[in-house]
Every structure is written in C-alpha cells, then in structure tokens.
Structure 1
Amino acid sequence: MNVRSAIMGRMFLLLGLLFLLPAAILMQIFRVNLLEGDGLKELWSQQAIDTIPISAQRGNIFDANGSLLATNSINYKVAVDPLAPTTTRDQLNNVAQVLSRHTGRSASYYQNVIRNASNRSRYIVLERSIPVSAYDDLKELGYRTLILEEEYRRNYNFGSLSAHTLGFVNHNIDGMSGLESSYNSLLKGTNGLQQVRKDRSNRIFAYVGAPQKQPEQGLNLHTTIDAYIQAITEEELEAGIKRHMAKYGTAIVMDPKTGAIKALANYPTFNPNAPSSIDSENRRNYAVSDMIEPGSTFKLVTAIAAVEQGVVDFDEIFETPENGRKMIHGQMMRDHDPLGSLDFKGVIAKSSNIATSEIALRLKPETLYQYARNMGFGTLTNIDLPSEMPGRLQKPFEWSRVTQPWMSIGYEVQATPIQMVQAYGAFANGGKMMRPYVVDRITDEFGNVIRQNRPNLVRRIAKPSTIEKLLPIFEEVVSDSGTAEWAEVEGLRIAGKTGTAQKLIDGRYQAAYRASFAGFFPADDPQYVLFVLLDEPRTSIYGGFTAGSIFKEIATRIAGLDNDIHRSLIEGNYATVPSDSLITPKVEGLRREYAKLILNNKNLRASYSGSGDYVMEQFPPAGEKIAGNTSLNIKLGTMETDSIPDGFAQIPDLLNMNMRQATTLLLSRGLDIEMIGSGTIYTQFPRAGDLMRKGRTVTVRGKARPMQQATTVAANN
C-alpha cells in the first residue's frame, strides 16, 4: 500500500507539472499581448525601422558667361551575386548578353569573369561604368542576382582648364582645394533621409508610404572667370614657359575697376578629374600661396611714395656710376647695365636700382613702409580662394641699415602674385584698390540668387593727381626706350613694369632668378591688369624679354576678344583669317551632317566608318597641320545624350564658316548668334567644345576673304 501511494503521488506531481507548463505559456501570451503589448510593439518597430541618407547633388560651377565648368555625373556599376536565391545559369547568361549589346565585349567575356570567381564570392563586378541605356535594360530583368549601384562623380568639363581656381574633390565628394574647398559647405548641400525596414538578416527594404526628408541640393557658383580668357592665359603661359625653359610660372588677369578675376593660371597644372595622377606640388596654387621677392615690379611703391611726398623732381637728373655699381652701407648695389645720367622717367623706364634706392633714402622709413602697407603688401587680399599667404613686410623697427634701399627695389620684402595684381590694379584704377574675388554670385537649384558679391573698395592708395603724373612714366617702360619693349603691342597703350629678382635659397642669394612683368591696358582706360611670373627662365633672366613676351601674346589675344579694345586697334594688327587647308578642324562630338558642313567649307575630303549620328574619333587629330589634299578618317558612333546636361548645348567649331552656315548650326542647337563683321568667321566666343545654356549668345567675328580664295571654295562646294 505504501508503494502504491508513493507511485500515485509521483504521478500526480508529474501531471501537475505538465499542466503548469501550458498554463505558464498562456500567462506569457496574455502578458505579451495585453499587458506589455504596446511597449514591445514600439520596441520592435524601433529595431526594424531605420533611415538611409538621400544624397544631395553638389552644386555646379559656371564661368562668367554661363559655360559649365564643374558639374556632377553618375557612374553605373553592375555586379552579380551567383549565390542569391532563385539565381539560375540562364539568368547569368542573360545578364552577360545584355551587357554585351551595350559595351561591345562578348557575352563569353562576362561568363568567364563569373566562372573564374571564387565559389563563395557574392559580389562579382562585371563593369564599373555602363551607359544609362544598359542600366535601364538590366534593371528591367528584375533578377535578384543583379547588383546595380549608382556612383556620383564630380566632372570637370574642360579638364585642366582653371584647375587651380576650381580645385578638386576627394572620394567623398568633399572639396579639397580651390573653390571646391572654400565654398564646400554651400556646394555640398544637405542630405535627405529615407525611412526603410530591416529584416532579421539586417537586409533593408523600402515600403510604401515611408516618411522622407528631401535633400537640400547644393548651391551653384557663378564665377568671374572668363573661360575663353582663361584658355588664352593658360595656352600662352605654357608656351612661354616651354619657350624660355622655366621651372614654373603664374599669370593672373583681373578687372582693375571691380577686382573680378578673369583668369588665374599656373603651369605645370593638373587635371582635377584625376588629381592623384600627378605630383601634389602641381596642385599648389602659386598665385595665392607663393611668397616671392618681387624685384623691380615693387618700384611702383617707391615711385608713388616719392611723387606723393614731393621728394623727387621730374626734371631732376640722377647720375649713376659709370660701372653701374655703387656701395651702399657696405653692400654693392648694381644696375643691369651702366645707365649714365637719367631723369625720373628714365629711372623707371630703364629700371635703375641705384637711382631708385637714392630716391627711397629721401623718405622716412615709416613713410615707405606705410605706402607699401597701403598698397596691400604684408597683408591678405582676402580673395575667396584657400591657402592665401600674407607675404612678409617688416616693420621699420626690424629694419637693418640696408633694408630701405633694398626694399625700394623689391628685396627684403615678400609678396604673392595676387598682391602684385591688386597693387597694379589700384594704380590702373586711379588709386582705388579693389579686393580681388572669384565668385560673382551664388544661386540655388531654381536659379534664385542667394548671394551677390559686389565690388569691394579696400582703400585709396594715392591721390588721383599722383597716378596721372606717373601713368606716362610707366607707359614709357613698354617702349623701345624701356625695359619692356617685348611686351609692346602695336596700337595698344600699355603701362607696366618689369621685374628680375635673384632667388634667396638656404639663406643665400644664388645664381637663380625670377622674372616678372606687371601691366595693364588700355592705359587710357584700363580694362585688364595682368601679372606674369616665371621661375628660373633659362633663355634670359630679364622680365622684359621673358615674362614681357608672354604678356604681349596674352594681351594681343584678349584685345582681339574685347569689342571696345578691338575697335580702337589699328585694323589688321593682330587678326588674320587662318588658312582653309592647313589646320585640321575639330569635328569630334559633332553630328555627322555638321561635321560634313565644316569639312566641305574647308575644302577637305573625309572617309567615314562605323554607324551612328556622331563623330567619335577623327584622324588626323584637331589642330594638326596637313596638306590640302589630305583625306580625314572619321569614325562614327552613338553618343549618350546624358553627356550633355539638360538645358545645355555644346558649341561647335565655327572657324572658317560663313555667317549663314554658322547661324543655321547655332540655331539648330538652341543658341543665338551675335555677328561682328561679315564674311568668313576667324574667331568665336565661347570656344568650340564649351557647354553653354540654351538661349545664350555665341559671338563670332567675320572678315571678307580674298576674291580668288572665295571663288575657289565656292567652286569646290
């Protein structure tokens, strides 16, 4: 009996425990659903819902005429995950077939890429950049194995043009130099947010009605840079540096009346589309960050101070030593040549160091220092570009006995090229010094002006009467009797000053020099101030011959571009109609019918290969000299319309067309035309290949051809 009771007791205990388990489960279900249900649902929602950013588009950068300098482009990358659910061999083959149709590579190429990948690989990249049409076709397949990614890139439409001004971005599309850096917070905008759901595997899914915060798109910069003047400056600077075998050089063009920078060039340069492909030193903006001893271009400070303080008489004669040397406080002062007797005009025009230092010593040290300071030396110009250096201007209590005479000729003082431009701009502007600037206005994505930069008067550096007295003297520099005869442009009044400065290396002056020229034109109503600097030119150390000759080429071409200056020049000084048959025109990127029009107009034959409506390649390349009977090889193809942003058109090469042909071609692209002169077009603005907003105006200049030439072309057409 006792044994049976014990067994029954154990059975009841076991049954009790068995009944307690479902009771506990029911109690837990009751607690989860009724007592704590709302809190647990909220916790689940927080863990299952996340947000992902919606990228804001970086703002565009335009030149002064609306040409698109920097914009955004999208790269479409395609990869596959062979281990994704429902993936079949047929699907992978279909992906290979679609890609093959768009890229020109065989389907077997992509099949081999997949086959040769690791068996465990779940991310096999097939192409890193595919056309939009390929992206759309692949997306329509709807395969889970497909991985399609959009990658935004910064695109600089003209390569290295204005590279140091524009700057570049890093892999996160953040500005690293130039305008991209100084205006980064405005250009980049603010990313939006998209709410999404996550599953237990942490995979993200969009869902209908998910809340969104739209991104604030980046603002656009409209610069003062004139792309055509920039191109001229870069081309002539590069040619001059190679001609004179210099290490590097800088050239800056500014409007002296406003301070607007029209062009800023350094050479060697770099391509901001691939900034890491070149030495980082070439990415440095010498124009604002290079501190140099300016040499004789600094004599402008001494001249203004001496005239305004009345310590020099224009008729006074200065006797310089016969050997061109003079000992001053134990140091030898030298002229470039023995110059003999000079009046004040001759002192500046022939750049006598000895006479200039004699004049400077008549001034109090504090006076010379104050004039230099007033003209912007030793302080930032506050141009809207990063990494600007203030230069170096010692205070009088820091001077040695030789500082004043040597500073008067541009030694024991350090200046940046942008400071030199600002100082000569003030001279050209009647003594009113303007702050240099690059960004004219900032607009939003709808074109509304957010900020408008106005010309900013810094100070007056001298009385107007002082400037008027000195202007003819600095014009004399650019003449046969001055040191800058190589900068002279027939028919164009130019005022300026040459500079040659020995370089201080490791605390000692070495047999290495910098050559420079600062000038402005037209001297009677200055529109442009231009500074050119060369480092260690090997053909000559003198700024008049080296930097002055580059100044001449740039000024000549700018004068041909400016309508007002053009009308004031002697007819035919600089403009001639180029040959019809010796230079290959640029037809790449044009529609086939437009290319034929240009080639026929130049009396050139061509053979065509390939299919499509656009010229993809040409041989010989544009700009190459060819014989008149040469036949061009033209390869046709299809151009993606996405390469030209909506609302923009690419400007064709109009040179040597007649006005009627150019008008037809421009109107077909949605552009207007302004015709100056008649006959054959010998120059255009903007240049061929630029992107310009539709509705804007292209300016062309025409000149009648000789009758025999015109008859020949007409007969051939």
Structure 2
Amino acid sequence: MNVKKDIRFRVYLAFSAVCLFGLAILLRAAWIQVKEGPKLRELAREMRIHKTILPAERGNIYTEDGSLLCSSIPQFDLRIDFSVVNQDTFYRYIDTLSSSLSLLFADASKATYKQQLTAAFKEQKRYFLLRNGLAYYQYQAIRQFPIFNKGRRTGGLIAESRIKRINPYGMLAYRSIGLFREEGQTIGIEATFDTVLHGKNGSRIDQKATGGVWMPVEGSEIDPINGRDIVTTIDIGIQEVAEHALMSVLKQYECKYGTVVVMEVPTGKLRALVNLGRQPDGSYWEDLNYALFPTEPGSTFKLATLTALLSDGFINVEDNINCEGGAKQFANRTMHDSHHGLGLITIRNAFAQSSNVGMASLAYKYYGTNPEKYVAQLKRLHLNTRTGIDLIGERRPYLIEPKSNFWSGTSLPWMATGYGIQVSPLHTCMLYNALANNGKMMKPYLVSAIREYGKDVETFEPEVLVDAIASPDAVSQLKTCTEEVVISGTGKHIRSPFYKIAGKTGTAQVSDGATKYSAGVYQGSFVGYFPADNPRYTIAVVIRTKAHSNAYYGGTLAAPVFRMISDKIFASGLGHWTDPLDSLAQKGKPTIAAQLATSGYAFQTILNALKKQASISVLPTMVSQLSLDSSLSAHIAPRHVYSGVVPDVKGLSLKDAVYILENEGLRVRTHGRGLVQGQSLLPGSPIDKGQTIILELS
C-alpha cells in the first residue's frame, strides 16, 4: 500500500512540475509578446530588410578664377579571396597576372608578385591585401586582369571603395582650406561650411532574397542631395608667391613659425593666407592658423595709438616730441628705445624711427588721467572683438580695461607701444587696410560664393565695419607717417624704385604660455600696403624666432618678405589689378606697330611700308617704340630700360631681346623661332651678372 502511495505521489509531483513548467512557458511567451514583441519583431525584420545609406557627394572648393583647391576622389582597397579561385585557373593564369601587376605598379618584379600570390593561394587566404588607395583607373585596369576578370564569385577580387579629399596644390593654403575627417575634428573652410559642402545623404531599403542576396525594394530609394561648392577669395598666384617668400626667410633663420596675410584693400577679400610652422624634422608645414592667434604685436600697434591721438584732436604729426635719448621712466619701470639717441623730433619721424618713448609719452600725456578714453578709441577700431572672418577658431583679442585689477601705472605707456594687449596678425592687417582704404575698415573674408551646378546660389559681398577710422585730415597724416617709415625710417631698406610702399615694422619680446620674456624669443613683423599712392593690397607678415636668434627685428625678418611678395605681385600683375611691371616702361600704350633696340632711324623702313610719316630724331635711350594711335598717326617714343632688373622682352624680335639682355649682363638661351613669347626670369626681378635667361620663341 505504501508503495502505491509513493508511486502516486511521484506521479502527482511530476505532473505538477510539468504543469508548472508549461505555465511558466506560457507566461514567458505572453511577457515576450507584450513587452519584448515589438523589439524582436523589428530585429527579425532587420534580418530580412535593412536600410542602406546612399552618401551624398561632398562639394568642391574653388578659387574665383575656377582653380580647384579641394575635391573628393574615390579610392579603392583591393583584396583577394583565394578560397573561391579554382586551382586550375590560378596556375594557368598566375604568370600573366603577375606580369600585369608588375607592369602596372612598377614596384616589384613579376617573380616577386608570383611568389607572394602563390603563397597566399596555398594558404587559402580569404582577405589577402593586394593594394591600398588605388585610383579609379587603376581599379578598372585590374578588373580586366586574368583571374580577376571572372568576377567576384570565381575571380576572388574584393574592392572596398572610400572617398578621399585631395588638395591639388598640396600645402598651398592648406590650413585655410581645411581638413575634412569623418571621425575627428574638421578644420578651416571645410569646418565652417561643413553643412553646405556635405549635402544630404539618401537611403534605400534592401530586402534579403533567396540565396541570401540583398535586393533593393522598388520605390524605396531616396536620392542623396550632393553638397554645394564653395568659392574662395584665395588667389593661387599670390598665395604661392607669399608662401615661397615666407618659407625662404623661415628656413634661413630657423624660425618657429610665420604667417602672411594678403588683403585686397577696397573689399577686404583675403587673397593669401599663409601659416607655416617648424616641424620636428626641421621642415615647415601649414599646421596651425597663426594668422588668427592673438599675440602682443609690438610697434605695429603704434598706428592704433596714433589714430586715437589724431581722432581726439590732441596732436598733429608735424608737432615735436622729445624722445629723451631713448629712455624714460613710467611709474616704477624704464622704457627704452631700441635705437638710442633720439631727441626732439616730429611725431611723424618718431613713428618712422619706431620710438617707444615718443609714442608712450604722447599716450601718457593725453590719456594718463583718462585711460578709458584711449581704450574707447581702441574699441572703436574693433580691437576688442573678433574680426568675424569666416573661419572657425578665431580667438578673441585681449584688451586690458582701466577698471581691471591688472591695470597699473605702466599699463597705458606699454599698451601704447604694443605690449600688455594681444591682437592677431589678421586684426593688425585689417587696421592697416582701413588706412590704405582712406579710413574705411572692411571685414576680412575668405569665401565669396556658394555654388551649385556651376551657378552661384549665394554670394558674400564686402562688408564695412567702420565707415571712417579717423577724419580725412587725420587719415592723410597717418599715411604720411607710414610712408615715412619706408622713406627714412626702420623700413627704408625695402624702398622700391618702381612703386611706393607704406607700413610699419614691429618687434616684440614674446611672453605667452611656457615662453617667458627671458627666453629670448621675439616676434618680428611688418604690416603695410602698396602702391602707397593708390593702394591695392595690404600685407601683414609676422614671424616668431627661435630662442636667442641673431635676427629678430621686424625690419630684418618680416620687411624683406613683404618686399619679395609686393615685388612679384607688382611685376607680374598677379591679381589682375594692373598691367605687369614693365621694365621697358610701356604705359598707356597704343597699338604697337614695331619696336627696335637700336637707332630710331631704323623705323623709316617700317614707316614707308605703312605709308606713314613721322619726325624722327636720334633717341637717347636704348629702346624705342613705334606705335599708331586711334587716328593711325605714327609716333616714336623712348622705352626706358632700368639697370639692374630683368627687362620684359616679350613681343620683341630675338635680335632686339638679345641686345637688351646681354647689355644687362645676362646670358641668353633660346627655344623655337620667331618673336619672344615667354622668358624664364620674372620681369622686374634683380639681376645676377652672368645669370642665364631662357627665351621661348614662336
């Protein structure tokens, strides 16, 4: 009896356990259905259907003349799945394939390729890397090679595409154009206009079909909207000239970094923006946008002080100021001039000679009891706010306020000479550009248009920040001061015989971050404009030296860079603002009928052929020009050749060109026949005696 009870108990227990287990399953199923059902159904759907992103094509970056600065190109990484390649096929075509790869890449022999591919085939590697970063034309060529031409399933070729941003001009304006990174920080124009360049991605729904093949669902595709193009104000010719000029000085003195800003006077367009920093290996690269970094500017800031004094009616630049031998005490510190011995001189000459004592004395005299008035003038010149340039990352200037706890008895005189405040090279360039623009301050900008399918959909016009930084009379006085710097002052060695330069040198000891004044690091600068009588470009050059460099004055480091840039712009007509500098002095020229590098009497044959008459006398210059005016009257006029610079001989006969060039000490080589169409040396550049010039004739 007990046995039956025991058996019955076990049966009931087992049955109860089964029932409980079944109930648990039902409860769990209900829970999944109610709580987790939607998520699991979505997961199941995703295993059969998924969304494919169709990336938009990123826009390009151009210059205003259509030069391509940045674009996107497809690149391909090629791999091989040897597991799908038939053994007979592999050994039948391996020789031909190896030979084809060797010829295409020219980096290894046929035998080397055969050895590598055979080893990978024997190991049945499924993801063997053949090549990274191939161009589209290379990928297309490889697809036609033996084995690979049999398709993905039997040929084993796996192509993984990606988009790469390229800069056709390499380092030119690299930091300003910027860098686009899918993962990481985007910089420059690429960052500022990222949403414009990026466009809008599209999408497509794919469904898994029989055999595991994903097929697009009809009607599900949303086309991507490609990014728009950006048009910049950069002039490639000016950018290249500025980079080469800066690079030459940085390398010569092993400087830490340098920057050049070239601004178009009437508009504020930035025609060049160069930023070169020294790398660990001694080379230079566009690594940081130094043009936007606020630093203590030094003496170039004296223009702001002089503008304030003139605007408040305190001075005339022909007034005298006592520079006291180049040393004067303010509060508990003594200020020194780098050039000692200056006494009673005009304010204009004090500016030209860059007297710290002179400028500090004026500021202390007229603003000492009311420094707020001086600071208010600086704020009116926008020296306390960002310029608003269309680049992300511009830092705010630092301008100490009289009410600040850091203000002291030495703040005003030192600020007047460019210490105790921080402004960027771009800010300083903007100020000098305002002077060149007859007092009108323009906002600097780098992007002139947004373009879609070749048409401008949005344009950016010049913007005025300050209608007049000073009265017309004050502006005129300021111009005489900046011109005097190059006539007789600290910038006199960059004076040009061909055009007038105006500007200001600056030298400042550096103290920022880990660098202290005692470290012996300096910032040399020159900011100016040209031609001074009709300004077209303002250029700011700022260079930071290595510690204890032998060369650190702005007149030694930065001013020569300015002159190299302005010479080449003026000589070659870069920027299309003027006729090229003509060392043969042709200006306002009528239609040229002939020109000759010898006696004017040789024109008689030409006049006879043209049936024209003209009075001919012996001309005092080496070169004469015969021309016809609008009434077809003949005229003969001298064309001057300036000694020591390369003449422009384009358009001359070979005989005349050789005569002129050899007379200047140049050796002449020629290519072709006919008139001179090109020359290897830039017109207006200095001549080295015995230098060779190559002429292209046609």
TM-score, length of structure 2 as denominator length: 0.72
Counterpart in the other structure of 1:231 = 240
Residue 46 of structure 1: CA displacement? 5.9
- Give yes or no for contact 2:204–2:217 (8 Å, CA) kept in 1: no
CA distance in 2, matches of 1:200, 1:319: 96
The answer for the alignment partner of 2:227 in structure 1 is 218
The equivalent of 2:358 in structure 1 is 355
Counterpart in 2 of 1:462? 470
Pair 1:163 & 2:174 matched: yes
Superposition deviation, residue 301 in structure 1 = 0.8
2:11 alignment partner in structure 1: none
**Aligned equivalents of 1:439 and 1:551: distance in 2?**
24
Q: Secondary structure at the match of 2:361?
A: helix
Equivalent residues in 2 for 1:199-598, closer than 5 Å: 204-207=213-216, 209=218, 211-268=220-277, 283-288=287-292, 290-322=293-325, 324-337=326-339, 338-361=341-364, 362-363=366-367, 364-398=370-404, 399-444=407-452, 446-460=453-467, 461-479=469-487, 481-504=488-511, 508-510=516-518, 511-536=520-545, 538-562=549-573, 564-566=577-579, 571=585, 576=646
Give the Cα–Cα distance (whole angstroms) in 2 for the partners of residues 303 and 539 of structure 1: 30
Contact 2:398 2:421 in 1 (8 A): yes
**Alignment correspondent of 2:66:** 66
Aligned AA (2:462): P
Structure 2 residue matching 1:231: 3-state secondary structure: helix
Instruction: Kindly indicate whether the alpha-carbon contact (under 8 Å) linking 1:61 and 1:223 is maintained by their aligned counterparts in 2.
Output: yes
| Cα distance in 2 for residues equivalent to 1:196 and 1:516 | 61
SS in 1 for 2:251: helix
> In the alignment, residue 373 of structure 1 is paired with which amino acid?
K
- Matched letter for residue 517 of structure 2: Y
What is the CA–CA distance in structure 1 between the aligned matches of 2:286 and 2:50, rounded to whole Å? 44
Q: Do 2:262 and 2:538's aligned partners in 1 also have CA atoms closer than 8 Å?
A: yes
Is residue 189–residue 216 contact of structure 1 (8 Å, CA) maintained in 2? yes
Instruction: Indicate yes or no: 2:686 matched with 1:682.
Output: no
1:204 is displaced (CA, Å) by: 4.9
Paired residue type of 2:310:
V
Q: Check the 8 A contact 1:433/1:459 in 2, yes or no.
A: yes
* Distance in 2 separating the partners of 1:713 and 1:287: 40
Aligned alpha-carbon RMSD (Å): 3.7
Of residues 197, 205, 208 in structure 2, which corresponds to 1:198? 208
Alpha-carbon distance in 1 for matches of 2:414, 2:262: 28
Q: Who is 2:197 aligned against?
A: 187
1:256-304 CA distance string (max 9 Å, x none): 211110001012379xxxxx9999996211111x221001100011111
In 2: Cα distance, 1:491 partner to 1:60 partner:
39
Equivalent position amino acid for 1:552 in 2? R
Are the counterparts in 1 of residues 486 and 494 from structure 2 also a CA contact under 8 Å? Answer: yes
Aligned to 2:24: none
> After superposition, what is the alpha-carbon deviation per residue over 1:221-255, rounded to whole angstroms, capped at 9, x for unaligned?
11000001000000000001222332211111001
Q: Distance in 2 between matches of 1:497 and 1:254?
A: 16
Q: Any conservation in 2 of the 1:560–1:575 contact (CA below 8 Å)?
A: no
For 2:694 and 2:180, how far apart are their aligned partners in 1?
53
Question: In structure 2, what is the Cα distance between the partners aligned to 1:576 and 1:711?
Answer: 12
AA paired with 2:150? Answer: L
Quick one: structure 1 residues 384 and 575, their matched pair in 2 at CA, closer, same or farther if it must change by over 3 Å? Answer: farther
**Partners in 2 of 1:129 and 1:498 — Cα distance?**
48
Looking at structure 2, the residues matched to 47 and 280 of structure 1 have their Cα atoms a distance apart, in angstroms, of: 52
Once the two structures are TM-superposed, the CA of residue 200 in structure 1 deviates from its matched residue by 8.1
Paired letter, 2:677 = T
Summarize the Cα distance change of 1:159–1:380 in structure 2 as closer, same or farther, 3 Å threshold: same
Alpha carbons 2:207, 2:217 under 8 Å: kept = no
In 2, Cα distance between equivalents of 1:151 and 1:166: 21
Cα distance change of structure 1 residues 89 and 342 upon mapping to structure 2, 3 Å threshold: farther
CA distance in 2, matches of 1:684, 1:222: 32
Distance 1:507-1:330 versus aligned 2 partners, 3 A rule:
farther
Structure 1, 538-547 or 418-427: larger mean CA deviation = 538-547
Distance 1:68 1:402 in 2: 51
Judge conservation of contact 1:254–1:421 (CA < 8 Å) in 2: yes
Contact 1:487 1:550 in 2 (8 A): no
SS for the counterpart of 1:504 is coil
Cα contact 2:173–2:286 (8 A) shared by 1: no
Asked whether the 8 Å contact 1:77–1:128 carries over to 2, the reply is yes
Structure 1 residue aligned with 2:637 = none
2:688 corresponds to which residue? none
| Contact 1:175/1:184 (8 A) holds in 2 | no
Q: How does 1:57-206 map to 2 (within 5 A)?
A: 57-84=57-84, 87-91=86-90, 94=93, 96-97=97-98, 99-100=101-102, 102-104=104-106, 105-106=108-109, 108-117=111-120, 119=123, 121-130=125-134, 131-137=138-144, 140-144=149-153, 145-170=156-181, 172=182, 176-198=186-208, 204-206=213-215
- Is the Cα contact below 8 Å between 1:659 and 1:681 reproduced in 2? no
Unaligned runs of 5+ in 1: 1-39, 271-275, 581-601, 603-626, 630-655, 661-677, 686-699, 702-708
Partner of 1:642: none
2:459 and 2:544 mapped to 1: Cα distance?
37
Report if the CA contact (8 A) 2:180-2:186 is conserved.
yes
Summarize the Cα distance change of 1:206–1:577 in structure 2 as closer, same or farther, 3 Å threshold: farther
How many Å apart are 1:148 and its aligned residue? 1.9
Contact 2:679–2:695 (CA<8 Å) still a contact in 1?
no
> In 2 relative to 1, CA 504–185 (structure 1 residues): closer, same or farther, beyond 3 Å?
same
User: Kindly, what percent of the aligned residue pairs are identical?
Assistant: 29
| Structure 2 unaligned spans of 5+ | 1-39, 586-640, 651-657, 659-666, 685-691
Q: Structure 1 residues 279, 189: CA separation in 2 closer, same or farther (over 3 Å shift)?
A: farther
CA distance in 1, matches of 2:329, 2:253: 33
How many Å apart are 1:348 and its aligned residue? 0.8
Deviation string 1:515-538 (CA, Å, 9 cap, x unpaired) is: 101000111221100000111263
- The CA deviation at 1:175 is 6.3
Residues 3-42 of structure 1: matches in 2 within 5 Å?
none
* Shift, 1:199, TM fit: 5.4
Q: Counterpart of 1:635?
A: none
Change over 3 Å in CA distance of 1:307–1:76 after alignment to 2: same
For residues 280 and 241 of structure 1, the distance between their equivalents in structure 2, rounded to whole angstroms, comes to: 8
1:125 alignment partner AA: L
Task: Summarize the Cα distance change of 1:658–1:234 in structure 2 as closer, same or farther, 3 Å threshold.
Answer: farther
- Most deviating of 384-393 and 232-241: 384-393
Cα distance in structure 1, aligned partners of 2:480 and 2:115: 77
Paired amino acid for 1:513: Y
Count of matched residue pairs = 556
Task: After TM superposition, list the pairs within 5 Å mapping 1:617-636 onto structure 2.
Answer: none
What letter is aligned with 1:223? T
Counterparts of 1:212 and 1:269 in 2: how far apart (Å)? 50
Q: 1:470 deviation in Å?
A: 1.6
